[in-house]
Amino acid sequence: MAESAEQVHARVLAAADEHGRMPLPSVAEWDIFPWEVVDGALVTRPLAPPAPEEPREGEAAADCRICSTDSARVIWSNERWRLKHLDERSGLPLVLILEPFAHLDLPDLDDEMAAEFGTLAVRIVRAVEALPNIARCHASRIGDGATHLHVWFMARTKGLPSVRGSFAVDWDDILPPGPEEPWREDLAAVAASLASYDDRVVD
Ligand SMILES: [Zn+2]
């Protein structure tokens, strides 16, 4: 079972500085980070001038790191899809990635794959939101980094008001990872929930 809001709060405060702040995550150094401090005030960064689109990782399947995903990270799969966790635990209690085995992006899915994607997305969110101490499971496809479709499912802790909305993505980088055992228990619970559908007989 994931930590309660009180447990997360106490653990984070123990790791924070005397003001309760964690160090800035690396995203603050990215050139797409939209804010900066000028003369002591937080302001928006100027919009960068137009530029050619940069190639995404894995434009060719032979160069795609997602195609060669480490199978040890996969918690559930069928013939076409796999659900995996990150290389390492992160700030949110559970972050999962759904991706096709085939080197396809979202617009490449045929109707059958698209329908299955929708079904799996609902099942994953349902399984994660059924976990104790989890309020919500956000689902998102960004796709600016890598060509190979990878959809994020990010769980946030129930009753932790800072970590609501789209900023949960930033808190995932800010907060120190929680303990391993509850994380593994939740991974197993989600995998079991998805497997229960696999066993269902469809007429
Ligand atoms: Zn690929």
What pLDDT digit, counting tens, does each position of 127-183 carry?
999 999 999 999 999 999 999 999 999 999 999 999 999 999 999 999 999 999 999
User: Facing residues of 138 across strands?
Assistant: 154
When pLDDT is cut at 50, 70 and 90, the band that residue 63 belongs to is confident
Q: How far apart are CA 57 and CA 29, in angstroms?
A: 20
- Supply 197's token pair: 């559908």
Are residues 198 and 78 in contact, defined by beta-carbon separation less than 8 angstroms?
Answer: yes
Supply the pLDDT for residue 60. Answer: 80
| 112 CA → ligand 1 middle, Å | 19
What pLDDT digit, counting tens, does each position of 36-45 carry?
999 999 999 9
What pLDDT digit, counting tens, does each position of 89-120 carry?
999 999 999 999 999 999 999 999 999 999 99
Task: Provide mean pLDDT across the span 54-63.
Answer: 86
- Supply 156's token pair: 């946030």
Q: Say which CATH number the domain at 150 has.
A: 3.30.428.10
* Helix 180-198 × helix 111-129 angle, to 10°: 130
Supply the pLDDT for residue 103. Answer: 96
Torsion region of 40: left, alpha or beta (phi above 0 gives left; psi -120 to 50 gives alpha): left
| 119 CA → ligand 1 middle, Å | 22
The edge-to-edge listing of strands for the beta sheet with 151-157 is 74-77, 81-85, 94-100, 151-157, 134-140
Asked, for residue 82, whether it belongs to a domain, the answer is yes
Number of domains in the chain: 1
Asked, for residue 39, whether it belongs to a domain, the answer is no
Supply the pLDDT for residue 62. Answer: 82
Asked, for residue 77, whether it belongs to a domain, the answer is yes
Asked, for residue 137, whether it belongs to a domain, the answer is yes
Neighbours of 189 (CB within 10 A): 19
Supply the pLDDT for residue 199. Answer: 66
Q: How far apart are CA 82 and CA 120, in angstroms?
A: 10
Asked, for residue 52, whether it belongs to a domain, the answer is no
Supply the pLDDT for residue 190. Answer: 98
Asked, for residue 141, whether it belongs to a domain, the answer is yes
Supply the pLDDT for residue 201. Answer: 55
Kindly provide the b/e burial profile for residues 43-70, where b requires at least 16 CB atoms within 10 angstroms of the residue's own CB: eeeeeeeeeeeeeeebeeeeebebeebe
Task: Decide: residue 72, CB within 10 A, 0-12 exposed, 13-18 middle, 19+ buried.
Answer: exposed
What pLDDT digit, counting tens, does each position of 12-54 carry?
999 999 999 999 999 999 999 999 999 999 999 999 999 999 9
| 85 CA → ligand 1 middle, Å | 17
- Supply 128's token pair: 């994660």
Are residues 137 and 154 in contact, defined by beta-carbon separation less than 8 angstroms?
Answer: yes
| 61 CA → ligand 1 middle, Å | 5
Asked, for residue 120, whether it belongs to a domain, the answer is yes
The residue segments making up the domain with residue 96 are 5-21+66-198
| 79 CA → ligand 1 middle, Å | 16
Supply the pLDDT for residue 202. Answer: 52
Asked, for residue 29, whether it belongs to a domain, the answer is no
| 148 CA → ligand 1 middle, Å | 5
Supply the pLDDT for residue 70. Answer: 85
CA proximity to 98, closest of 188, 194, 2, 168: 194
Supply the pLDDT for residue 200. Answer: 64
Q: How far apart are CA 70 and CA 191, in angstroms?
A: 17
| 187 CA → ligand 1 middle, Å | 24
Q: How far apart are CA 84 and CA 187, in angstroms?
A: 9
